[in-house]
Amino acid sequence: MNTKVTIIAIVASNGAIGRDGDQPFHISADFKHFKAVTMGKPVVMGRRTFEALPCGALPGRRNIVITRNKQWRAPGAETACSIEDALNKCGDVPEVMIIGGGQVYKSAMPLASRLEITRVDAPVEDADTFFPEISGDEWRVAEQSEPMTDPRSSHTFRFITYVRKDS
């Protein structure tokens, strides 16, 4: 299998990705970027991430949800018991997108060859979920947008693509 594993996330300056079961930032340009990057590709996520989606399964993408609960079901979603099981279920596809949450990101980091990170220049003080460290020993910046400002929240952010140094 030559499937590329890509992680996509929106990350605060202090590494935060979640607070009380939701992502702390709702930036329109990030949602558009997420849709463009993931459309037509399998998306792998944890159960809590799936349950936090406002409209259930993401249309135009195969939704694979990692859960320990063998009875858990949701319309438009398939289940897997681990990141490896989820990737096996994807079969021989060019790319699989890992979309969260924290535990799934941590499990997928050693398997990923690319990270699509929306970096928000603001910390989240009361966060309870964090993105794994992006080590400069393992990752290099391949592309980086100019800083942009979200008109609704006034948060400054940029899109950063990291690639694994050995790939």
| Percentage of residues of the chain with pLDDT beyond 70 | 99
Mean pLDDT, the chain, whole residue set = 96
Q: What is the pLDDT of residue 167?
A: 62
| Percentage of residues of the chain with pLDDT beyond 90 | 93
- Determine the Cα–Cα distance for residues 44 and 90; give it in Å rounded to an integer: 9
Alpha helices in 39-166 (DSSP H): 47-52, 83-90, 102-108
pTM of the model: 0.95
Residue 123 confidence class, pLDDT cut points 50, 70, 90: very high
- Determine the Cα–Cα distance for residues 16 and 2; give it in Å rounded to an integer: 31
Q: What is the pLDDT of residue 104?
A: 98
Q: How far is CA 30 from CA 9, 26, 33, 36, 73, in A?
A: 9, 8, 5, 10, 28
Reply yes or no on whether the pLDDT at 1 is more than 60.
no
- What the chain holds in terms of domains, given with CATH numbers, is 4-138 (3.40.430.10)
Reply yes or no on whether the pLDDT at 65 is more than 90.
yes
- Determine the Cα–Cα distance for residues 142 and 162; give it in Å rounded to an integer: 5
